[in-house]
Amino acid sequence: MKKNILFSILVAALTFSSGCFDPFYHNPYFKVDESGLNWLEIYHKQISGKKLVRVRIDGNGVIKVKEGTSPLVGDGFAHDNSHENWEDIRDYRLTVSREETNRIFQELVNNGLFLEQKKSDDSPEGTAIMAFGNIQNHTVYATVYDSDLYEHLNALVLTFYHPQPKRR
């Protein structure tokens, strides 16, 4: 009995040390299954002037869009209610099919959403897109620097965000 336990421990130790099994490795490319627990928020700073835009995509097909210059756009728990633009916030909801939401998530995974983001010289400087969420128990919380992924996320934001002209 002791020999079997020692042999099992030895095999496990060799497996860990040989690099065949890494408990901290997460494959950045995976198949996305349809789930209401999947979600992603895309926070776009300065899309037009000083306006902030936040798009949240839930796995059940609900898409929430917030826009404005209020600190509430970037932080739902903001507490600076004396801010000059506190009331400048608009939000609305859209609903798409769960299949469409799943397709969006799969495209983002295929375009490298879960790869490590490294800033380079050709990274967009004027604006920033941040993505955070949980898809298939893979979490992301990153500022996007990859130019292809940046363009893909920007197009996704503009798909659901339709700026309205200011009323005078």
Range with the lowest mean pLDDT among 12-16, 93-97, 117-121, 128-132?
A: 12-16
Indicate whether 168 belongs to any domain: no
In a domain, 68, yes or no: yes
pLDDT of residue 52: 84
Query: Does residue 117 sit within a domain?
Result: yes
More confident residue, 68 or 120: 68
DSSP string over the chain: -HHHHHHHHHHHHHHHHHTS--TT---S--PPPP-TT-EEEEEEE-SSTT-EEEEEEETTSEEEEEEESSHHHH-TT---TTSTTTT-EEEEEEE--HHHHHHHHHHHHHTTTTSPP---TTS--S-EEEEEEEETTEEEEEE---HHHHHHHHHHHHHH--PPPPP-
pLDDT-wise least confident of 2-11, 69-78, 153-162: 2-11
Task: Please indicate, yes or no, whether the overall pTM of this predicted structure exceeds 0.85.
Answer: no
Q: What is the CATH number of the domain that holds 156?
A: 3.30.1560
Q: Average pLDDT over the chain, rounded to whole?
A: 80
For residue range 88-108, list pLDDT tens digits in order: 888 889 999 999 999 999 999
- Domain membership of residue 14 (yes or no) is no
Check residues 20 and 45 and name the one with the higher pLDDT.
Answer: 45
What percent of the chain stands above pLDDT 70? Answer: 79
Number of domains present in the structure of the chain: 1
Domain extent for 103: 30-160
| pLDDT digits 0-9 by tens, 33-90 | 898 899 999 988 765 556 788 899 999 999 999 988 888 887 778 888 888 888 888 8
**55 domain-assigned:** yes
Q: Is residue 108 part of a domain?
A: yes
23 located within any domain: no
Name the pLDDT band for 117 (thresholds 50, 70, 90): confident
User: Does any domain span residue 120?
Assistant: yes
